Amino acid sequence: MNIILLSGGSGKRLWPLSNDIRSKQFVRMLSDGKGDFESMLTRVHRQITAVDSQAEITIATGKKQVSLIKNQLGDKVHVCVEPCRRDTFPAICLAASYLKDVRGKGEEEAVVVCPVDPYVEGSYFETLEEMSRMARTGDANLYLMGIEPTYPSEKYGYIIPVSRDRVSGVDTFREKPDLEKAQEYIARGALWNGGVFAFRLGYLLEKAHQAFGFQDYQDLYERYGEMDKISFDYAVAEREQKIQVLRYRGQWKDLGTWNTFSEAMADQAIGRATLNDTCENTHVVNELNIPILCMGCKDMVVAASGDGILISDKGQSSYIKPYVEQIEQQVMYAEKSWGSFTVLDVQEDSLTIKIVLLPGHGLHYHSHEHRDEVWTVMSGSGRTVIDGVERRVSPGDVISMPAGCKHTIFADTELKVIEVQLGKDITVEDKQKYELESELEKGKGC
Protein backbone atom coordinates (compact mmCIF):
# COMPACT_ATOMS: atom_id res chain seq x y z
CA MET A 1 0.00 0.00 0.00
CA ASN A 2 1.32 3.44 -1.01
CA ILE A 3 0.18 6.08 1.49
CA ILE A 4 0.72 9.84 1.40
CA LEU A 5 0.25 11.45 4.82
CA LEU A 6 -0.44 15.18 4.71
CA SER A 7 1.35 16.92 7.59
CA GLY A 8 0.73 20.62 8.06
CA GLY A 9 -0.61 22.79 10.84
CA SER A 10 0.32 26.14 12.30
CA GLY A 11 0.79 24.96 15.90
CA LYS A 12 -1.74 27.36 17.40
CA ARG A 13 -4.63 25.24 18.75
CA LEU A 14 -2.59 23.21 21.26
CA TRP A 15 -0.47 26.14 22.42
CA PRO A 16 1.76 26.29 24.42
CA LEU A 17 2.83 22.71 23.68
CA SER A 18 2.51 23.23 19.94
CA ASN A 19 4.27 26.03 18.07
CA ASP A 20 5.44 26.96 14.56
CA ILE A 21 7.82 23.98 14.55
CA ARG A 22 6.03 21.44 16.75
CA SER A 23 2.45 21.11 15.46
CA LYS A 24 -0.10 19.01 17.34
CA GLN A 25 0.79 15.76 15.53
CA PHE A 26 4.24 15.78 17.15
CA VAL A 27 3.19 16.31 20.78
CA ARG A 28 3.77 13.14 22.82
CA MET A 29 0.74 12.83 25.10
CA LEU A 30 -1.04 9.66 23.91
CA SER A 31 -0.58 6.23 25.44
CA ASP A 32 1.22 3.66 23.30
CA GLY A 33 -0.30 0.83 25.34
CA LYS A 34 3.10 -0.06 26.82
CA GLY A 35 3.39 2.60 29.49
CA ASP A 36 5.06 5.25 27.35
CA PHE A 37 3.82 8.33 25.51
CA GLU A 38 3.55 8.64 21.75
CA SER A 39 2.57 11.38 19.32
CA MET A 40 -0.24 11.27 16.78
CA LEU A 41 2.43 10.84 14.10
CA THR A 42 4.03 7.78 15.71
CA ARG A 43 0.59 6.36 16.60
CA VAL A 44 -0.60 6.59 12.98
CA HIS A 45 2.65 5.04 11.71
CA ARG A 46 2.29 2.19 14.21
CA GLN A 47 -1.32 1.58 13.18
CA ILE A 48 -0.54 1.60 9.45
CA THR A 49 2.28 -0.90 9.77
CA ALA A 50 0.14 -3.13 12.00
CA VAL A 51 -2.32 -3.46 9.10
CA ASP A 52 0.29 -3.54 6.32
CA SER A 53 3.87 -4.16 7.42
CA GLN A 54 5.07 -3.48 3.87
CA ALA A 55 3.25 -0.15 3.50
CA GLU A 56 5.35 2.55 1.83
CA ILE A 57 4.64 5.79 3.62
CA THR A 58 5.47 9.23 2.23
CA ILE A 59 4.87 12.29 4.38
CA ALA A 60 4.13 15.51 2.50
CA THR A 61 5.17 18.40 4.71
CA GLY A 62 6.88 21.78 4.95
CA LYS A 63 10.56 22.41 5.62
CA LYS A 64 10.04 23.22 9.30
CA GLN A 65 8.67 19.76 10.10
CA VAL A 66 11.28 17.59 8.37
CA SER A 67 13.67 17.44 11.30
CA LEU A 68 10.88 16.55 13.72
CA ILE A 69 9.66 13.73 11.47
CA LYS A 70 13.20 12.35 11.29
CA ASN A 71 13.48 12.62 15.08
CA GLN A 72 10.31 10.58 15.68
CA LEU A 73 10.37 8.12 12.76
CA GLY A 74 13.95 8.15 11.46
CA ASP A 75 14.22 6.42 8.08
CA LYS A 76 10.96 4.49 8.43
CA VAL A 77 9.18 6.91 6.07
CA HIS A 78 9.94 8.97 2.98
CA VAL A 79 9.51 12.73 3.12
CA CYS A 80 8.35 14.97 0.28
CA VAL A 81 9.14 18.57 1.22
CA GLU A 82 7.03 21.50 0.05
CA PRO A 83 9.18 24.57 -0.68
CA CYS A 84 6.28 26.71 0.60
CA ARG A 85 2.68 26.19 1.72
CA ARG A 86 0.17 25.80 -1.13
CA ASP A 87 -2.87 23.86 0.19
CA THR A 88 -3.75 20.21 -0.40
CA PHE A 89 -4.00 19.97 -4.21
CA PRO A 90 -0.47 21.26 -4.96
CA ALA A 91 0.88 19.23 -2.02
CA ILE A 92 -0.66 16.00 -3.33
CA CYS A 93 0.52 16.77 -6.88
CA LEU A 94 4.10 17.27 -5.65
CA ALA A 95 3.95 14.06 -3.62
CA ALA A 96 2.54 12.12 -6.59
CA SER A 97 5.33 13.41 -8.82
CA TYR A 98 7.82 12.46 -6.09
CA LEU A 99 6.45 8.91 -6.06
CA LYS A 100 6.86 8.57 -9.83
CA ASP A 101 10.13 10.38 -10.50
CA VAL A 102 12.04 9.86 -7.24
CA ARG A 103 10.58 6.65 -5.85
CA GLY A 104 10.05 5.01 -9.26
CA LYS A 105 6.38 4.09 -8.80
CA GLY A 106 4.35 3.05 -11.84
CA GLU A 107 1.32 5.02 -12.97
CA GLU A 108 -0.99 2.02 -12.45
CA GLU A 109 -0.12 1.78 -8.77
CA ALA A 110 -2.78 2.81 -6.26
CA VAL A 111 -2.15 5.66 -3.84
CA VAL A 112 -4.10 6.57 -0.70
CA VAL A 113 -3.95 10.08 0.76
CA CYS A 114 -5.00 10.88 4.32
CA PRO A 115 -4.21 13.35 7.12
CA VAL A 116 -1.28 12.56 9.39
CA ASP A 117 -3.24 13.00 12.61
CA PRO A 118 -6.59 11.15 12.77
CA TYR A 119 -7.37 9.59 16.15
CA VAL A 120 -8.83 6.30 15.00
CA GLU A 121 -8.86 2.56 15.57
CA GLY A 122 -7.25 -0.11 13.41
CA SER A 123 -10.36 -0.57 11.24
CA TYR A 124 -9.71 2.88 9.74
CA PHE A 125 -6.46 1.67 8.20
CA GLU A 126 -8.07 -1.58 7.13
CA THR A 127 -10.52 0.64 5.23
CA LEU A 128 -7.60 2.50 3.66
CA GLU A 129 -6.23 -0.83 2.46
CA GLU A 130 -9.65 -1.63 1.00
CA MET A 131 -9.72 1.75 -0.76
CA SER A 132 -6.28 1.00 -2.21
CA ARG A 133 -7.57 -2.26 -3.71
CA MET A 134 -10.64 -0.49 -5.10
CA ALA A 135 -8.49 2.21 -6.71
CA ARG A 136 -6.28 -0.43 -8.28
CA THR A 137 -9.06 -2.62 -9.71
CA GLY A 138 -12.27 -0.55 -9.71
CA ASP A 139 -13.99 1.45 -12.45
CA ALA A 140 -14.07 4.80 -10.67
CA ASN A 141 -11.25 7.35 -11.00
CA LEU A 142 -11.46 8.54 -7.42
CA TYR A 143 -12.50 6.93 -4.14
CA LEU A 144 -13.31 8.82 -0.94
CA MET A 145 -13.79 7.78 2.66
CA GLY A 146 -17.04 9.07 4.14
CA ILE A 147 -17.17 8.97 7.93
CA GLU A 148 -20.57 8.17 9.40
CA PRO A 149 -21.48 11.13 11.64
CA THR A 150 -22.07 10.65 15.35
CA TYR A 151 -23.65 14.11 15.73
CA PRO A 152 -24.52 17.12 13.53
CA SER A 153 -21.17 18.93 13.41
CA GLU A 154 -20.55 22.43 12.10
CA LYS A 155 -16.77 21.79 11.92
CA TYR A 156 -16.63 19.37 8.98
CA GLY A 157 -17.56 19.31 5.33
CA TYR A 158 -20.12 16.74 4.17
CA ILE A 159 -20.35 14.23 1.34
CA ILE A 160 -23.91 13.53 0.15
CA PRO A 161 -23.95 9.97 -1.27
CA VAL A 162 -26.34 8.73 -3.91
CA SER A 163 -27.44 5.85 -1.67
CA ARG A 164 -26.96 4.51 1.83
CA ASP A 165 -24.99 1.52 0.52
CA ARG A 166 -21.52 0.94 1.96
CA VAL A 167 -20.06 1.94 -1.42
CA SER A 168 -22.01 4.60 -3.29
CA GLY A 169 -21.74 7.21 -5.96
CA VAL A 170 -21.48 10.83 -4.83
CA ASP A 171 -24.38 13.22 -5.30
CA THR A 172 -22.72 16.40 -4.09
CA PHE A 173 -20.38 18.01 -1.56
CA ARG A 174 -21.32 20.56 1.09
CA GLU A 175 -19.04 22.95 2.97
CA LYS A 176 -19.12 23.33 6.76
CA PRO A 177 -22.81 24.03 7.53
CA ASP A 178 -24.68 25.61 10.42
CA LEU A 179 -26.36 23.26 12.90
CA GLU A 180 -29.72 23.22 11.13
CA LYS A 181 -28.15 22.37 7.76
CA ALA A 182 -25.95 19.70 9.37
CA GLN A 183 -29.07 18.01 10.77
CA GLU A 184 -30.68 18.18 7.32
CA TYR A 185 -27.62 16.65 5.65
CA ILE A 186 -27.47 13.77 8.13
CA ALA A 187 -31.15 13.05 7.55
CA ARG A 188 -30.23 12.61 3.87
CA GLY A 189 -27.53 10.08 4.78
CA ALA A 190 -24.61 12.52 4.53
CA LEU A 191 -21.12 11.55 5.65
CA TRP A 192 -18.31 13.61 7.15
CA ASN A 193 -15.56 14.38 4.66
CA GLY A 194 -12.42 13.15 6.41
CA GLY A 195 -9.99 14.23 3.67
CA VAL A 196 -9.14 10.68 2.56
CA PHE A 197 -8.70 9.90 -1.16
CA ALA A 198 -7.55 6.92 -3.24
CA PHE A 199 -6.64 6.87 -6.94
CA ARG A 200 -4.23 5.40 -9.44
CA LEU A 201 -1.04 7.42 -9.62
CA GLY A 202 -1.41 8.10 -13.33
CA TYR A 203 -4.86 9.66 -12.80
CA LEU A 204 -3.56 12.22 -10.35
CA LEU A 205 -0.47 12.99 -12.43
CA GLU A 206 -2.72 13.72 -15.40
CA LYS A 207 -4.71 16.18 -13.27
CA ALA A 208 -1.47 17.74 -12.05
CA HIS A 209 -0.10 18.22 -15.57
CA GLN A 210 -3.39 19.73 -16.72
CA ALA A 211 -3.28 22.22 -13.87
CA PHE A 212 0.41 23.14 -13.81
CA GLY A 213 2.03 22.01 -17.06
CA PHE A 214 5.32 20.87 -15.47
CA GLN A 215 7.94 18.50 -16.86
CA ASP A 216 8.87 16.34 -13.87
CA TYR A 217 9.24 16.41 -10.09
CA GLN A 218 12.24 18.74 -10.10
CA ASP A 219 10.50 21.20 -12.43
CA LEU A 220 7.37 21.14 -10.26
CA TYR A 221 9.43 21.66 -7.11
CA GLU A 222 11.24 24.67 -8.56
CA ARG A 223 7.98 26.27 -9.75
CA TYR A 224 5.95 25.35 -6.69
CA GLY A 225 5.72 28.90 -5.38
CA GLU A 226 3.92 29.97 -8.58
CA MET A 227 0.98 27.63 -7.93
CA ASP A 228 -2.39 28.84 -6.73
CA LYS A 229 -3.50 27.79 -3.27
CA ILE A 230 -6.36 25.38 -3.88
CA SER A 231 -7.80 22.39 -2.05
CA PHE A 232 -7.92 18.88 -3.51
CA ASP A 233 -11.67 18.79 -2.88
CA TYR A 234 -12.31 21.85 -5.01
CA ALA A 235 -9.71 21.15 -7.72
CA VAL A 236 -10.46 17.44 -8.22
CA ALA A 237 -13.07 15.71 -6.06
CA GLU A 238 -15.99 18.08 -6.66
CA ARG A 239 -15.41 18.00 -10.44
CA GLU A 240 -14.91 14.26 -10.89
CA GLN A 241 -17.83 12.31 -12.40
CA LYS A 242 -16.45 8.79 -11.89
CA ILE A 243 -16.26 8.99 -8.12
CA GLN A 244 -17.35 6.71 -5.28
CA VAL A 245 -17.47 7.02 -1.50
CA LEU A 246 -16.79 4.18 0.94
CA ARG A 247 -18.70 4.46 4.22
CA TYR A 248 -16.62 4.16 7.42
CA ARG A 249 -18.47 3.41 10.66
CA GLY A 250 -15.57 3.10 13.12
CA GLN A 251 -14.15 5.49 15.71
CA TRP A 252 -12.89 8.77 14.29
CA LYS A 253 -11.94 11.88 16.22
CA ASP A 254 -10.34 15.15 15.21
CA LEU A 255 -8.10 16.09 18.13
CA GLY A 256 -7.85 19.68 17.00
CA THR A 257 -8.49 21.47 20.30
CA TRP A 258 -7.49 21.04 23.93
CA ASN A 259 -11.06 19.98 24.70
CA THR A 260 -10.94 17.01 22.32
CA PHE A 261 -7.25 16.26 22.81
CA SER A 262 -7.60 15.94 26.57
CA GLU A 263 -10.18 13.16 26.04
CA ALA A 264 -7.46 11.04 24.45
CA MET A 265 -4.62 11.90 26.85
CA ALA A 266 -2.83 8.96 28.44
CA ASP A 267 -3.18 10.42 31.96
CA GLN A 268 -5.09 13.16 33.71
CA ALA A 269 -1.78 14.78 34.60
CA ILE A 270 1.47 14.59 32.62
CA GLY A 271 4.58 16.05 34.19
CA ARG A 272 4.92 17.53 37.68
CA ALA A 273 1.30 18.14 38.62
CA THR A 274 -1.00 17.48 41.58
CA LEU A 275 -4.81 17.70 41.50
CA ASN A 276 -6.75 17.52 44.75
CA ASP A 277 -9.95 15.52 45.19
CA THR A 278 -12.22 18.47 44.37
CA CYS A 279 -10.98 18.72 40.77
CA GLU A 280 -13.37 17.43 38.12
CA ASN A 281 -12.71 16.75 34.43
CA THR A 282 -9.46 18.69 34.57
CA HIS A 283 -6.26 17.78 32.70
CA VAL A 284 -2.75 19.12 33.24
CA VAL A 285 0.30 18.90 30.99
CA ASN A 286 3.51 20.33 32.45
CA GLU A 287 6.79 20.36 30.52
CA LEU A 288 8.46 22.70 33.02
CA ASN A 289 10.61 21.49 35.89
CA ILE A 290 8.43 23.23 38.49
CA PRO A 291 5.30 21.81 40.17
CA ILE A 292 1.71 22.73 39.32
CA LEU A 293 -1.01 22.37 41.97
CA CYS A 294 -4.69 22.44 41.00
CA MET A 295 -7.49 22.71 43.57
CA GLY A 296 -11.23 22.85 42.88
CA CYS A 297 -10.72 23.06 39.13
CA LYS A 298 -13.69 21.91 37.03
CA ASP A 299 -13.73 21.30 33.27
CA MET A 300 -10.33 22.92 32.83
CA VAL A 301 -7.08 22.37 30.98
CA VAL A 302 -3.74 23.62 32.29
CA ALA A 303 -0.73 23.39 29.98
CA ALA A 304 2.75 24.73 30.67
CA SER A 305 5.86 24.77 28.52
CA GLY A 306 8.79 27.04 27.80
CA ASP A 307 6.57 28.86 25.29
CA GLY A 308 3.94 29.87 27.84
CA ILE A 309 1.18 28.77 30.22
CA LEU A 310 -2.47 28.14 29.34
CA ILE A 311 -5.23 28.05 31.96
CA SER A 312 -8.58 27.58 30.27
CA ASP A 313 -12.10 26.28 30.54
CA LYS A 314 -12.21 23.31 28.17
CA GLY A 315 -15.05 24.73 26.11
CA GLN A 316 -13.30 28.07 25.72
CA SER A 317 -10.06 26.37 24.63
CA SER A 318 -11.60 25.93 21.15
CA TYR A 319 -11.25 29.69 20.62
CA ILE A 320 -7.56 29.96 21.47
CA LYS A 321 -6.11 30.60 18.00
CA PRO A 322 -6.64 34.39 17.54
CA TYR A 323 -5.22 35.08 20.99
CA VAL A 324 -2.13 32.96 20.39
CA GLU A 325 -1.55 34.76 17.09
CA GLN A 326 -1.13 38.01 19.07
CA ILE A 327 1.66 36.55 21.22
CA GLU A 328 5.18 37.36 20.06
CA GLN A 329 7.41 34.61 21.36
CA GLN A 330 10.39 32.81 19.90
CA VAL A 331 10.25 29.02 19.86
CA MET A 332 11.58 27.82 23.21
CA TYR A 333 11.62 24.07 22.53
CA ALA A 334 12.05 21.99 19.39
CA GLU A 335 12.84 18.43 18.45
CA LYS A 336 15.35 17.90 15.66
CA SER A 337 16.63 14.92 13.72
CA TRP A 338 19.71 14.96 15.97
CA GLY A 339 17.89 15.48 19.30
CA SER A 340 16.27 18.55 20.86
CA PHE A 341 16.94 21.99 22.26
CA THR A 342 15.34 24.02 25.05
CA VAL A 343 15.87 27.76 25.48
CA LEU A 344 16.61 28.37 29.16
CA ASP A 345 17.32 32.10 29.30
CA VAL A 346 17.11 35.08 26.93
CA GLN A 347 19.00 38.31 27.65
CA GLU A 348 19.89 41.32 25.52
CA ASP A 349 23.40 40.05 24.82
CA SER A 350 23.17 36.33 25.65
CA LEU A 351 21.10 33.23 24.97
CA THR A 352 21.32 30.04 27.03
CA ILE A 353 20.19 26.72 25.53
CA LYS A 354 20.10 23.12 26.70
CA ILE A 355 21.02 20.75 23.86
CA VAL A 356 20.30 17.01 23.94
CA LEU A 357 22.13 15.03 21.24
CA LEU A 358 21.03 11.49 20.43
CA PRO A 359 23.74 8.78 20.29
CA GLY A 360 25.52 8.76 16.92
CA HIS A 361 24.32 12.23 15.95
CA GLY A 362 25.91 15.65 15.90
CA LEU A 363 25.65 19.25 14.78
CA HIS A 364 26.85 20.69 11.50
CA TYR A 365 30.45 21.88 11.37
CA HIS A 366 29.85 25.63 11.48
CA SER A 367 30.94 29.07 12.69
CA HIS A 368 29.33 32.35 13.71
CA GLU A 369 30.50 35.81 12.72
CA HIS A 370 28.85 37.89 15.43
CA ARG A 371 28.85 35.76 18.57
CA ASP A 372 31.02 33.64 20.86
CA GLU A 373 29.78 30.33 22.24
CA VAL A 374 30.58 28.24 25.31
CA TRP A 375 29.62 24.59 25.74
CA THR A 376 29.44 22.93 29.16
CA VAL A 377 28.96 19.17 29.09
CA MET A 378 26.35 18.07 31.66
CA SER A 379 26.16 14.33 30.99
CA GLY A 380 27.17 11.71 28.45
CA SER A 381 30.26 11.38 26.31
CA GLY A 382 31.21 12.53 22.83
CA ARG A 383 33.70 14.41 20.72
CA THR A 384 34.18 17.99 19.59
CA VAL A 385 36.02 19.28 16.53
CA ILE A 386 37.31 22.83 17.01
CA ASP A 387 39.07 24.35 13.99
CA GLY A 388 39.97 20.88 12.80
CA VAL A 389 41.22 19.57 16.15
CA GLU A 390 39.29 16.66 17.64
CA ARG A 391 39.03 16.00 21.39
CA ARG A 392 36.90 13.77 23.59
CA VAL A 393 34.50 15.38 26.05
CA SER A 394 32.78 14.19 29.23
CA PRO A 395 30.75 15.75 32.08
CA GLY A 396 32.26 18.95 33.46
CA ASP A 397 34.23 19.83 30.33
CA VAL A 398 33.94 23.43 29.14
CA ILE A 399 34.68 24.35 25.52
CA SER A 400 34.95 27.97 24.37
CA MET A 401 34.46 28.99 20.73
CA PRO A 402 35.16 32.64 19.82
CA ALA A 403 33.43 34.23 16.82
CA GLY A 404 34.79 32.84 13.56
CA CYS A 405 35.85 29.53 15.11
CA LYS A 406 34.68 26.42 13.24
CA HIS A 407 33.14 23.89 15.60
CA THR A 408 30.90 20.87 16.01
CA ILE A 409 30.06 18.24 18.61
CA PHE A 410 29.10 14.56 18.25
CA ALA A 411 27.43 12.24 20.75
CA ASP A 412 28.73 8.74 21.47
CA THR A 413 26.07 8.30 24.16
CA GLU A 414 23.14 10.65 24.79
CA LEU A 415 24.90 13.94 25.35
CA LYS A 416 23.47 16.89 27.29
CA VAL A 417 25.18 20.24 26.82
CA ILE A 418 24.50 23.78 28.01
CA GLU A 419 25.28 26.26 25.23
CA VAL A 420 25.71 29.95 26.07
CA GLN A 421 25.71 32.33 23.11
CA LEU A 422 27.33 35.72 23.76
CA GLY A 423 27.05 38.75 21.51
CA LYS A 424 25.11 41.88 20.60
CA ASP A 425 23.59 40.38 17.43
CA ILE A 426 22.40 36.82 18.13
CA THR A 427 20.33 35.53 15.21
CA VAL A 428 19.65 32.15 13.57
CA GLU A 429 20.92 33.62 10.28
CA ASP A 430 24.42 34.06 11.72
CA LYS A 431 25.61 30.56 10.84
CA GLN A 432 28.13 29.47 8.21
CA LYS A 433 28.24 25.73 7.49
CA TYR A 434 31.30 23.80 6.29
CA GLU A 435 32.18 20.30 5.15
CA LEU A 436 34.04 18.45 7.85
CA GLU A 437 37.28 17.42 6.14
CA SER A 438 37.96 14.40 8.35
CA GLU A 439 35.86 11.23 8.03
CA LEU A 440 34.45 11.79 11.51
CA GLU A 441 30.76 10.87 11.47
CA LYS A 442 30.46 11.74 7.79
CA GLY A 443 26.88 12.37 6.76
CA LYS A 444 25.42 12.63 10.28
CA GLY A 445 25.00 16.37 10.49
CA CYS A 446 21.59 17.78 11.31
Residue 33's pLDDT is what? Answer: 83
**The length of the chain, given as a count of residues:** 446
Provide the pLDDT for residue 109.
96
Q: Is 304 exposed, middle or buried (0-12, 13-18, 19+ CB in 10 A)?
A: buried
Rounded CA-CA distance 442/120 in Å is 40
**Over 376-388, what HEC string results?**
EEEECCEEEEECC
214-272: per-residue pLDDT in tens? 999 999 999 999 988 999 999 999 999 999 999 999 989 888 889 989 988 878 999 99
- What is the per-residue pLDDT for 438? 52
Average pLDDT over residues 33-52: 93
Find the farthest-apart pair of alpha carbons in the chain and give their distance in angstroms, rounded: 73
Mean pLDDT, to the nearest integer, of 80-90? Answer: 93
| Residue in 224, 4, 205, 11 with CA at minimum distance from that of residue 112 | 4
- Please give the mean pLDDT across all residues of the chain: 92
pLDDT over threshold 50, residue 44 = yes
- Range 346-349, long-range pairs (CB < 8 A, 24+ positions): 349/422, 349/423, 349/424, 349/426
| C-alpha dihedral, 362 to 364 to 369 to 372, nearest 10° | 0
d(CA 409, CA 382) in angstroms, rounded, equals 7
In this predicted model, what pLDDT tens digit does every residue of 164-213 receive, in sequence order?
A: 999 999 999 988 888 888 898 898 889 999 999 999 999 999 999 999 88
pLDDT in tens, 363-400: 999 999 999 999 999 999 999 999 999 999 999 999 99
CA dihedral 124→126→131→136, nearest 10 degrees, is: 160
CA 307 vs CA 267, 271, 300, 330, 342: distances in Å: 22, 16, 19, 8, 10
Residue 439 has pLDDT above 60, yes or no: no
